[in-house]
Amino acid sequence: MKIKLYKLSALLLLFAVSLAFYGCTSGDDFNYNKKGILITGTESNPMVKFVVEDIPSTYAITAKSTKKVTSDVKVDFAIDTNLVSSYNKENGTSFFAPPAESVELENAKVTITSGTSLSDVAQVRVVNTENFENGRTYVIPVTIKSIGNTNGEELINASKTIYLKISRVLQFTSLVNDFNFSSNYIFDESKAVDLTNFTYEIKLRADGFGSSGGSIERVCAFEEKDESNASMLRFGEAGMDGNQLQWVSPAGSIPSSTRFAPNKWYMISLVYDGSAMTMYVNGVKDATTNASGKTVKFQRFELGMSWGGYNTSQYFPGRLAEVRVWNRALSSSEIVNGICGVDSQSKGLLAYWKMDEGSGHVFHDATGNGYDMDWNDTWRADNQSELIHHTDYGNYLKWVNDENNKCAQ
């Protein structure tokens, strides 16, 4: 009797395992044992990069079957821009659908010929980027609208849509750093803002670095009116390599792990999320320190080193662009997507200076929040004491736009 019960239990267990196995393979998970149709390249990640350098640019799309088909299978592709908002909602991203008439789909109806597993080619073409806004990342969702004349093949829903993330090569104008304009812009009291979370960003490119162990090159500082709770960036502090960046933060010194190369652009992001201060280099977490309960008041921005004669001795030779102040902590993915630029109306973007004016003496705030900086209205401690008002440092501003100023978004 016991032997019969054991056999019955074993059979029931085997039946349960079989149900579990077949249940797991009956959904949308990719399964080569199941006859299915999908878009080629979506098996592991439906988001792929589409590099657009010249117009028009073309991306080839094909459908495939997990097994060779026994009769011709018709596949109908379509661009569905409504899927961008759905993707954003599911993944916490902020991509944009491309403007109307900027994208075309050619040969949308393809065939997987009997005896094969791959269709002929459809083509997605970007034909116009004039209405693309700098700072926005555009995604083209191409989906399988329908399949026909199947012989048991099913559409694999998890892989029926490919998201083409447009990567443009952009040329931009940047500010050339000059020790003659090292100074501070101090905003009115009405523009002072308390930040319990923040992200400060600046994009920089060094011509070279000083020797190790104290040959300092100071880049900039985000500060309160009296310089307290500053977030200051400088290369080559004592005890550090000349190409090592130091963030002098409200929580103390945070030296970078990265050793920077000359003649290369880097996006530096300084993030405070309420519990830690973290430096990112090109969207990658580089160094961090614990900090909690901090509140800093942003009211002052400094270019270079503007105290006494240190503007020359601590001069940073290089270029600057894309300076931003956020009232929230950005994620690594947000930072990566914003390396070339961000939407001026992005959530939490308090001030945004592209440093691309090309002429004049005003750094314009692209957000419209009123944080323009007139560099003919700045302050510096020339004599290592009280701040002195200066009305001509804007005359030393100069810009460059050449082959070295390119960014692949």
Q: State the residue range of the domain holding 53.
A: 36-171
pLDDT at 34: 64
- My answer on whether 250 and 156 are in the same domain is no
Q: Quick: pLDDT tens for 228-237.
A: 999 999 999 8
- My answer on whether 193 and 340 are in the same domain is yes
- Six token digits for residue 258: 């990265």
Dihedral, CA of residue 36, residue 39, residue 44 and residue 45, to nearest 10: -140
Binned at pLDDT 50, 70 and 90, residue 150 comes out as: confident
Q: What is the pTM of this model?
A: 0.77
Count structural domains, the chain: 2
- My answer on whether 121 and 186 are in the same domain is no
Strand, coil or helix: what is 190? helix
Provide the CATH number for the domain around residue 144. 2.60.40.1740
- My answer on whether 103 and 180 are in the same domain is no
Binned at pLDDT 50, 70 and 90, residue 408 comes out as: confident
Ranges assigned E (strand) in 99-160: 103-106, 109-112, 122-126, 139-148, 154-155
Residue at which a domain ends, from 171, 196, 228: 171
- My answer on whether 356 and 233 are in the same domain is yes
Contact 212, 242 (CB under 8 A): yes
- My answer on whether 152 and 223 are in the same domain is no
- Tell me the pLDDT of the chain averaged across its residues: 90
Q: Are strands 47-52 and 161-171 parallel, antiparallel or unpaired?
A: parallel
Binned at pLDDT 50, 70 and 90, residue 13 comes out as: very low
pLDDT at 31: 52
Mean pLDDT of 280-302: 96
Find where tokens 């403007």 sit. Answer: 99
**Whose CA is closest to 260, among 311, 217, 315?**
217
- My answer on whether 66 and 207 are in the same domain is no
- My answer on whether 143 and 277 are in the same domain is no
- My answer on whether 154 and 206 are in the same domain is no
- My answer on whether 264 and 228 are in the same domain is yes
3-state helix, strand, coil in the chain (%, to 5): 15, 40, 45
Mean pLDDT of 350-371: 97
Mean pLDDT of 355-360: 96
- Is residue 147 situated within a structural domain? yes
Mean pLDDT of 110-129: 95
Residue at which a domain ends, from 117, 149, 171: 171
- My answer on whether 200 and 277 are in the same domain is yes
Residue at which a domain ends, from 122, 138, 171: 171
- My answer on whether 150 and 78 are in the same domain is yes
- Six token digits for residue 135: 């700072």
Provide the CATH number for the domain around residue 210. 2.60.120.200
Angle at 10 between CA 9 and CA 13, to 5 degrees: 85
CA distances (Å), origin 293, targets 32, 249, 250: 52, 14, 11
